[in-house]
A and B are shown apart, each in its own frame.
Chain A
């Protein structure tokens, strides 16, 4: 792939990201908006576009879109309206999509995230609401079917300014949107199930040039990997064209992830005329100040704010990034920190190294079924910091906490696994080891300091691993001194 940093060209990328809103019902009708039912189970006269059926706006979808807009710092229009966008396709039951055109809900704003530790801000053009289409299913025999379960699921389309400069940045921007919508609880942001989808507008220009080059629109790039691969491929394709003195043609290209190439889908001349006009079946939507104030007050702490706060309490950039990457990870961290406020770094380490490794989906971290809830982790960290458990012992205890769903305190109390801090017991053990190892004692006293490990190891064996290593060291030094 072309190394963009070395190239004389600069890539200019804008993304159109579709987020399915996780409302109970569809945006304009009463059917369930849930994913995964049998074909056409979640349908009704409205979402099937049956004659005479009329859309009724789901207020919960507007609430979600308002939350997203506020989280991105957008201007929320006090009055927005829907428009019909026309084209023919079997998965589009009404022959038009109900979208927003000249009066979208949100304008301006930005998505902020970190790329290689550096803060990046991608400006938004707009965020608008619309209904999703159904899904065509092509049978191997050449017969096509349509499943309208998805038809009418609420979508937010997030349109960015052409502020993105690399494939990596595009992928990270998309990841930031996924994190954000999950923080807001408005979407599961699942790319595999299509609840987060993306088209990219890509052009290149000579570095220093301010005019935009001719863009190509890439479709079917519905995974982080596809976004990165497709954009890199497109930058390389355009670079070759310009280097040869040819021109980039404005067109829509379809990414083929299996072959790793894109192919022209339609040219500018074949582009649809969507014949937008205001949706006459829906009155304009008014979002008043009181509504905005309520929505603003209900916003959670957002990823970037959390990230900054975590750096402030001494976490590394890497750890902070992991903790904010998913709202539930940060929430887990917060809950544990509340129970053991003195040890943010230790909690972060345990959470990142032990807890996260044991869950399939970090979004389940705050579920009741998680074997080691945040307070239990805090208790364990406390025991280590108090010297009751060594790091090694604590790892074993954690393992048992996870598999047996028990608290650290229980395990320690019931099975006396805690470190022996009673100096008399340790002293007895140390004496026994020193007495039966005259050779090693002589060599140690002769200057072989490495043998300290041998003595410590033997004392630990004597105490079944429960002796506090610090105390063992002190006593041995006294005995051997």
Chain B
């Protein structure tokens, strides 16, 4: 009897399957995806673009898969000498730039700028890169958005080889990307992408809810609201560093004990739990754990007692400094105010000022690369702490030592690593960007609108 009841239940479940299963599903061609972003991009040049957008129009010699392994892109194969100094990349035959000109070794060599001590030459279908120092990770480096292959016309307009070509460009406002019918990886499913720039986060959120946009960027606050309303969101791996940076040449910043006192006073957990609503992670390291694997070695815990002891050692009337933030960024403001409160508890007076000259500032720096060496190099350039970094560090241990040296100098105090949060419209299918945020929309397709 009991068995019969179970069989009946199973039968009812199975009969219900077709009605509850998702609709049919092989990818569909056609449609224009509307993508909104906060940033205003002025030039149709990948060097000016957020890295996530670059793969829409441009390809590199190689690209990375979801596990960070290199895959062929414009180069089909590559090899190196025993010292990892000379690399040869064999190009994919028959590929053309969007302007119709062929992608050959000479064009690639003319485009690829890898620094003063690197020779790039091309002959036939092979590009040769000769470095002075061993570069075992060169293919992974070349997967970075800054090394895409493009052709610059006489008018300065760039032409890529990617799944979409630039069909229309209104600087800082609006762009239309059209499907590249001859794309070497197969024509994308979408006919095109409409890129709307300089959209306030709140406006993007509203557009998503009203079905006026298919993919939008969400602030932390809007992301929470979107989730509560049942909208589909996507969160990247932590891909932005929020840090407190001391300005050089100003008295407070030139005092190592002062910098250390402020660092010890910061309550990162409060910032993460309250201000960031647990998005991302507290950061004691410059690079997040998923990029290096050793970020856990940098403690992020507050040591208020020690901060108080150090502050007590400063001459009267006690340590003080000014802290600025980007006045258009409410999150930076909240973090700055929280740091001032934390510092006051330790006996340090910090005055928060919007923008302008100050002893410290809140910096929000997108991590452009999942490659730890490149990412560290970028941060060294942004914070002017290049002398503490070792860009030729090719081992994880060497990078750890370089990062440790920078952290222990306290000129840059990591606070947290933030993810990118996107709102995804209900018609969008196959949305699977890389976890660090590269948007490869060649596989994305749109469910037809139901009448």
Binding between chains A and B: no
Q: Which residues of A contact B (CB under 8 A)?
A: none
Q: Which residues of B contact A (CB under 8 A)?
A: none
